[in-house]
Amino acid sequence: MNIDKALISKLESLTRLQLTEEERLQLEVDLAAILQMVEKMNDLDTSGVEPLTHITSELNRWREDRVEEALDREMALKNAPDREGPFFRVPKVIELDDDRPS
């Protein structure tokens, strides 16, 4: 994968970030370094290495459920900057992109 200005611009748009030119250049360098590390890992011989499903051999420690007082809906909505009925109203952050694959 080639890290170029077009990819950085696309990522900036998708993440809704507004980067300075200096930040764009640094991101390009950082992403290239990450991809280079991944390529090195792909070259490793992992035959004979057992897959790791958990970082430790410890199992879940279960505890008994306990009933605790929950925050009342009206109390939760009391400090909301905007609401619609019993729901928090938040700004739209996801938009469909016409050039995305279907």
d(CA 97, CA 93) in angstroms, rounded, equals: 12
Per CATH, is 5-42 categorized as 1.10.20? yes
Q: Give the CA angle between residues 71, 74, 76 to the nearest 5°.
A: 50
- Percent of the chain residues past pLDDT 70, beyond the cut: 94
Q: What is the pTM of this model?
A: 0.51
pLDDT score at 99: 65
Q: What is the mean predicted confidence (pLDDT) over 17-45?
A: 95
pLDDT score at 25: 95
Q: Is the pLDDT confidence value at 42 over 60?
A: yes
Mean pLDDT for the chain overall: 89
Every domain of the chain and the residues it spans: 5-42
